[in-house]
Chains A and B, each alone.
Chain A
Amino acid sequence: MINRREFCKKAMVMAGGIALPLSAFQLFDPKSLHAEKNDGNSTRWIFLVDTHKCVGCGFCVKACKSENEVPFETNASRTWVERYVVTLDGHTYIDSPKEARNGFTSTKIDQQHHGLKDVKNEDIAKGFFVPKLCNQCDKPSCVQVCPVGATFRTNDGVVLIDRKWCIGCGYCVQNCPYGARFFHPVHHVAEKCNFCYHRITKGLKTACVDACPFGARKIGNLKDLSDPVTKVIMNDRVGVLKEEYGNKPQVFYLGLSKEVR
């Protein structure tokens, strides 16, 4: 039989034990603390898209697909270009036929099950093209949801996918607010743009940047303050997509319009 004194003692120990957070049992690691405070890296890859310069030729998509071996005839693509046509009466028509791998060659706007929409020139208030790619977010929600640690952020800020480790559950595909992830038609694992990691780490530019005739796409290093792309991002009025998701995207846009989603 337990007496009152014993009961009170044990109850207090129990309450104290429950109140102790799990993290209190973790050993203090100065290295990880330093990593969290200041990452000490000299590189943080960023991307700049100037929508004022894009003409919707789709050479970027073509180059990306062959450089990164994503089969051309499939609708899967690491990067794509969207067309926005805003009419004078306030309607917005958006399409990206076959991810714009063959460019935009017709005035007809693909409205999927509503068919093709041909807007008369005199009804158009504005029309423009927006290239899209993975935003290599600072807080990538796709990485957080991976149950096996197959996707991760590198020290230079690029989010990579381990093809040998991915189990293809698709959580990351669902969790990217930008729709940048898809299943690779050949490898059958999650796939996305990684800023041509094999090229940028060799000092080259990404395939899409090299293919763009008009300089609408640029890659830079945010940690290098003399980098012309960094200067634009620091000094010019740049925007990012879907800021409200809190992912801290690192692809910056010049000339974004409110219609762009």
Chain B
Amino acid sequence: MKNHVWRPLYVAICIVVIVLLARTVLVPKDYGTHEQGYMYGTHRKGSIDDWKSMTVKYKGSETCKECHSDRFAEHASGAHAVISCENCHGPRGEHPENPPKLVIDKSRALCIRCHAKLPYPGSPRGSLPGIDPETHNTGLDCVTCHSPHKPQIPGFEDSKPEVKK
């Protein structure tokens, strides 16, 4: 064949070789088609470990019991027993080392997540004790009158809600 055919062919072959070399360097060893097959299982195997190594921040109410047994018992006997400690106290993380103190959310906004009255037929929301946040003691924090652990105000027990887990 003539030179004018070979020269561009050399360039093309060089490009292919460079791409193949670059591929062996750039693509990690654990990348490939794994157990789930070509369509769903082509991935870098190390990615699974990347996800597994994420930190767990919410440790669950049971882990609070050991040190805060008195508070835990008080909460467990009230109408809010179904609510996890960390929903209001924030994720435990490595408490008491880090953070040494959890920031408690005592805002009205937190309480009205459940207690803003939405009386929808067919939804359990309507059977929760509800208020209209725009008229019910506006400007006051709910915790001024209601204990978050035992929210029932003495004398108003007749309106005790029935909540099943």
- Residues of chain A whose beta carbon lies under 8 Å from any beta carbon of chain B: 32, 35-36, 39, 52-59, 62-63, 66-68, 85, 102-107, 121, 124-129, 140, 143-144, 149-155, 160-165, 194, 197-199, 201-202, 204, 207, 210-211, 213-215
Contact = CB atoms under 8 A, between A and B. Distances in A.
A144 B125 contact: no
A121 B119 contact: yes
B142 to A, nearest CB: 13
B76 interface: no
B53 interface: yes
Chain B contact patch, size range: 35 or more
A103 B114 contact: yes
A155 B91 contact: no
A192 to B, nearest CB: 12
Contacts of B51: 160, 194, 197-198
Contact of B121 (A55, A102, A127): A127
Contact of B109 (A32, A35, A59, A105): A105
Contacts of B53: 198
Contacts of B125: 55-56, 104, 127, 129
4 interchain residue pairs of minimum CB distance: A127-B120, A103-B113, A152-B43, A162-B47
Contacts of B58: 63, 66-67, 207, 210-211
Interface in B67-125: 82-84, 86-87, 90-91, 109, 112-114, 116, 118-125
Nearest to A197: B51
Interface stretch (B9-17, B31-39, B143-151, B152-160): B31-39
A214 B86 contact: no
Contact of B123 (A59, A129, A210): A129
A214 B60 CA distance: 15
Given A55-B125, A127-B123, 17 more contacts: A54-B123, A55-B128, A56-B123, A63-B87, A66-B57, A66-B91, A102-B113, A103-B112, A127-B118, A127-B121, A127-B122, A143-B39, A149-B42, A152-B34, A161-B47, A163-B47, A204-B60
Nearest to A41: B35
A175 to B, nearest CB: 13
A55 B41 CA distance: 38
A85 B121 CA distance: 10
Interface string B39-54: 1111110011011111
B163 interface: yes
Nearest to A52: B124
Contact of B113 (A57, A144, A198): A57
Contact of A126 (B39, B109, B114, B120): B120
B1 interface: no
A148 B84 CA distance: 41
A199 B84 contact: no
